[in-house]
Structure 1
Amino acid sequence: MYNDEKNLYHYTYRRDGSETPEQAPVVETAYREAETSAPKRRKSGRAGAKIAALALSCALLGGAAGAGVMWGVSSHGSATSMNVSGRPASSVAVKTVDGKTALSDAELYAANVNSVVSINTTGTSGTNIFGQQVETASAGSGFILTSDGYIATNRHVIADANSVKVTLYNGDTYDATVIGSDKDYDIAVLKIDATGLQEVTLGDSSTLNVGDHVLAVGNPLGELTFSMSGGMVSSVNRAINVDGTPFNMIQTDASINPGNSGGPLFNQYGEVVGIVSAKYSSYSSESVEGLGFAIPMNDVLAMIQDIMTNGYVTNKPYLGITQGTLTAQMAAQYRYDITQGVFVYSVEKGSAADKAGLKMGDVIVKVDDTDIAASEDLVAVKKSYSAGDTSTFTIYRDGTTQTVSVTWGSVPAEQMTDSSADQQQTQQNQQQNNGYYGGSMEDLFNYFFNGGFGGQSGQRSQGQGTAA
């Protein structure tokens, strides 16, 4: 073990770490052993040895001054050494994010860590075999939008939570209120009762290029709080599907782990250009590495501001149909000439689709210049519009294709609660999965023998679909 005596390090084989009285410092011992092992020489020889030793000492001192501190070890009479740097620790100056000055990684962390928060939630999930509710807990990340306590994160971080707590870098913990969220974009806004907080600087995600350096700060695993990981932009405008919902993402090889969700993705200037949202650890039974994703800030900034003001996204486009993907089996059953598109199961009365003349049984195959092959395509293209925008829909009806002009409506306020949105998004029916439409026999009779689903507008079918 090592003992410290007057800042000299020695080594002893004794278990208690003690040394014999005659044991000298290691460096000195090395030289002493060399001296005592040499044969006796004449006086003139000893004088020459002293001169040589003095010269060697000067050389060693000069080397130590140039390279740091020299540490010696004696082994069987021979001396070995290691160079240990004497460079003092450097301090990191906290710089202001101005969008013009590129920051080092250490500078970026120092400038922004006080704007990152750790989020911990508790909730319940069903009951156990004893009929008791099962308590759940999860952790995520977020970042401060305003000095008076508005915080951005992912919706999936706080979904179904009974309580949400936010912890700042200085250790202060607050109860948070969920102002609002949006499932289609996986965003949420929280509010804590605090003032004088350090907010982030939001950047322009459209300026990112593949190869740009980016950094993520968050709460990986719910325990390694305020950790930073770095990487590059692997792809921009990457379309991925998360639990059936299509997203436009920034792809990065920065390490992303559970608990990082909702945290900021910074560019090299210290600006937030994305919200860390997802990662792939496996794909098609293959293990993968370096696949992390963040929601581009430009895609959701206006919606975040809308949630802060109104509690939900007021200009979110809404079509007013229950939709599902047309399969080849369905096409054969209904005698359609096409095998892909979005099948319209029902149309809400008074909705944008109803006003445009869409009917149950129509198949949407194109929106403006975008081909629609599956339900996910329609959900994805909808994100590029706002309420009030007008689009040209190409639909298949009665064996022919035709176009209709659709002015996108806005989501009704009563449907903006999570429970209502989830109910519309997750309508399930196993019969439809097998290619069978689950409507009534009367509907099928009217469709095949009377030329359509007359009078059914505004009624929701039992087939699988997602409200648009």
Structure 2
Amino acid sequence: MSIRKSPLITPRSTSMVGATALSAALLAATAIPSHADEALADLVETVSPSVVTVIASLDAKPMPANGQEFDFEGQPFGEFFKRFGMPEGFGNPQHGPSQGLGSGFVLDEAGYIITNNHVVDNASKVTVRLNDDRSYEAEVIGTDPLTDIALLKIEADEPLQAVPLGDSNEIRVGEDVVAIGNPFGLSSTVTTGIVSAKGRNISDGPYAEFIQTDAAINKGNSGGPLFNMEGEVVGINSAIYSPSGGSVGLGFAVTSNIVEHIAADLRDDGQVSRGWLGVSIQNVSPELAAAMGLEGTTGALVSDVVSGSPAEGVLEQGDVIVAFDGDKVDSSSELPVLVGTTAIGTDSKVTVLRNGQEKVLNVTIGKHQSETASAGQPAEDALAGKSLGVTVAPLSETARTEIGVPETVEGVVVTSLQPDSPAAKAGLRRGDVIVKFGNQDVQSPQALKAALEAQSTDPALMLINRGGNQIFVAVEIA
């Protein structure tokens, strides 16, 4: 009797052979070529002498009466320190003299060093330790808390090896990057990863934008360089996002283009001079776009123009800035960076959408002016406005003072809101001043009611003043 091969066996055997061959081919294809390993090793060997350790010494501080270890409120990047912890060694400054460890890199052979502001902030003495263990006391030339950048200077025995700054605008998502620093005090630690995202805005300040990377970054990496594969610095490692305080692949580096601008300013006179346009801006939400008849939600919506600013007489409330000096503006967070890094006195071109028409306007950039505004509680002489679900009151001088609204602002103050009302859903708050409803000025509760009755489009566009800042909101009134 002859034995026939089962058709169920033969294909299986063939499949196993094919799978084995396929696996071998995949392993061969995915294996990193030795020349790639050598290229990375060569890069690290070349740039490592330019990466330094920054040691910040803090004097002893008395234990606060409430027993809290550190007051994060009002501190640059304070929210990040709450979540991720301070740089290594900064944990309990009140118990006695302490040292904080961070990283940095040599910007210039003359001894200029770049690091993070939060690494050297409030330090009584700063020491820079080079890759070959030589140490020098550093002078803090200047700091910029709004971008978390500090420029140091040391007097070395010989010219230092500097690393070049690359163009962070040219780096692409998915590109390989290398981080070198001193995580947990372990000097010259190298980690690799990719660019996960660009243009991140993670701080309260409007002037810093970040590269997001999955290269491992931990405490002590702060101030260290993020390199591209050409050996150029494309960012300064500044923060991580992590529930545990350790790296989970969410690291953030201030872009090298911002570093270049800030470092040059600090080197010049120890201070940062930012360009100023003089407008309050906000994002264009889908609701605002619908209320304004816009096709998209890109751009920065001008909610107010500061009196006496470069923008006065050029830009108008309701303009949507879509480009600045040829650079596209997709959101409101992008404009301050573009304007802030523009030299004072520069004649710039601002492209706006105004009443559905695109216009290119000329404006001369001024020097940035800091403004503060306070918020409080309004008075309670009210009149109901049923269509919005709010109670409003005339803007008395007492209310104006309490909520921090300038004398030039006219409107009615919101004293209460009904839960789930159109105004509440639009984001209005108690203490907001309604300045305009639709195209009509609102200088009294009666004027608001008249504007509501005359409003024909839904959603309606409303201009409010919140603590001195003008904001557009879109509110459903149907």
TM range (shorter): 0.5 to 0.7
Aligned partners of 1:431, 1:327: CA distance in 2, in Å? 28
Which residue of the partner structure matches residue 368 of structure 1? 323
Distance 1:318 1:168, change over 3 A: same
| CA spacing shift, 1:348–1:151, aligned 2, 3 Å | farther
Residues 348 and 173 of structure 1: CA distance in aligned 2, closer, same or farther (over 3 Å): farther
Q: Within 2, Cα distance between the matches of 1:239 and 1:372?
A: 12
Tell me the TM-score normalized by structure 2.
Answer: 0.54
How has the CA–CA distance of structure 1 residues 410 and 120 changed in structure 2, closer, same or farther, with 3 Å as cutoff?
A: farther
1:256 is displaced (CA, Å) by: 0.8
1:214 CA displacement: 2.6
Structure 1 counterpart of 2:352, one-letter code: T
Residues 315-334 of structure 1: per-residue CA shift (max 9 Å, x gap): x32113456679999x9xxx
User: Shift in Å at residue 308 of structure 1?
Assistant: 1.7
Is 1:112 aligned with 2:47? yes
Deviation at 1:276, TM superposition (A): 1.9
Aligned partner of 1:199 among 133, 158, 161: 161
1:305 aligns with 2:305: no
Q: Is the 8 A contact 1:245 1:376 kept in 2?
A: no
Partner residue in 2 for 1:29: none
Task: Determine which of 424, 436, 439 is the counterpart of 2:405.
Answer: 439
SS at match of 2:109: coil
User: Structure 2, unaligned stretches of length 5 or more?
Assistant: 1-35, 71-92, 379-389, 393-402, 413-434, 444-464, 472-478
- Equivalent of residue 265 in structure 1, options 223, 226, 231: 226
Question: Please, which of 103, 110, 121 is the counterpart of residue 56 of structure 2?
Answer: 121
- Equivalence for 1:275: 236
* Alpha carbons of structure 1 residues 146 and 239: separation in structure 2 relative to 1, 3 Å: closer
Q: 1:442 & 1:294 partners in 2: Cα distance? A: 41
Q: Which has the larger radius of gyration?
A: 1
The counterpart of 1:253, out of the listed 196, 214, 226, is 214
Of 189, 201, 222 in structure 2, the residue corresponding to residue 241 of structure 1 is 201
Q: Find out whether 1:290 has 2:236 as its counterpart.
A: no
Partner deviation per Cα, 1:425-447 (whole Å, 9 max, x = no partner): x7553679x9x974157731596
Work out whether 1:186 is the aligned partner of 2:144. Answer: no
The alpha-carbon distance between structure 1 residues 404 and 162, as it changes in their structure 2 partners (threshold 3 A), is farther
Assess if the C-alpha contact under 8 Å between 2:226 and 2:236 holds in 1: yes
Q: Distance in 1 between matches of 2:331 and 2:235?
A: 28
* Matching residue of 2:349: 391
Q: Aligned equivalents of 2:230 and 2:349: distance in 1?
A: 38
Which residues of 2 match residues 301-450 of structure 1 at below 5 A? Answer: 301-314=260-273, 316-321=274-279, 342=301, 344=303, 347-349=306-308, 351-354=309-312, 356-358=313-315, 362-368=317-323, 375-382=332-339, 385-387=342-344, 388-392=346-350, 394=352, 405-411=361-367, 424=371, 427=373, 429=375, 438-440=404-406, 443-445=409-411
* Cα distance in structure 2, aligned partners of 1:403 and 1:127: 59
Whole-angstrom CA distance in 2 between matches of 1:251 and 1:161: 28
User: In the TM superposition, what is the alpha-carbon distance from 1:292 to its structure 2 partner?
Assistant: 2.3
Unaligned runs of 5+ residues in structure 1 are 1-100, 416-420, 455-459
State the alpha-carbon separation in 1 of the partners of residues 203 and 119 from structure 2. Answer: 15
Which whole-Å CA distance do the structure 2 matches of 1:291 and 1:324 have between them? Answer: 27
The correspondence for 1:463, drawn from 442, 462, 468, is 468
Residue 218 of structure 1 pairs with residue 184 of structure 2: no
Q: Is the contact made by 1:103 and 1:269 (CA closer than 8 Å) also made in structure 2?
A: no
C-alpha distance in 2 between matches for 1:327 and 1:214: 34
C-alpha distance in structure 2 between counterparts of 1:182 and 1:248, whole Å: 14
Shift of 1:121: 2.7
| Alignment root-mean-square deviation, CA | 4.9
Question: Quick one: distance in 2 between partners of 1:462 and 1:263?
Answer: 38
What SS is found at the alignment partner of 2:410?
helix
* Contact 1:265 1:273 (8 Å CA) reproduced: yes
2:129 pairs, out of 157, 167, 181, with: 167
Please give the alpha-carbon distance, in whole angstroms, between the structure 2 residues aligned to 1:154 and 1:122.
15
Residue aligning to 1:145: 107
Q: In structure 2, how many angstroms separate the alpha carbons of the residues matched to 1:193 and 1:261?
A: 23
Deviations 1:266-285 (A, max 9, x none): 23343333322232225xx9
CA distance in 2, matches of 1:207, 1:400: 32
CA contact (8 A) 1:342 1:373 kept: no
Counterpart contact for 1:389–1:408, Cα < 8 Å? yes
Aligned length: 332
TM-superposed deviation, 1:129: 1.0
The sequence identity of aligned pairs, in percent, is: 32
Instruction: Give the deviation of 1:386 after TM superposition.
Output: 4.3
1:74-85 to 2 correspondences below 5 Å:
none
Q: State how far apart, in whole Å, the 2-side matches of 1:153 and 1:266 are.
A: 15
Residues 205-258 of structure 1: CA distance to partner in whole angstroms, max 9, x if unpaired? Answer: 45545554432111213x2222221223344xx121212346544333211112
Inter-partner Cα distance in structure 1 for 2:52 and 2:470: 37
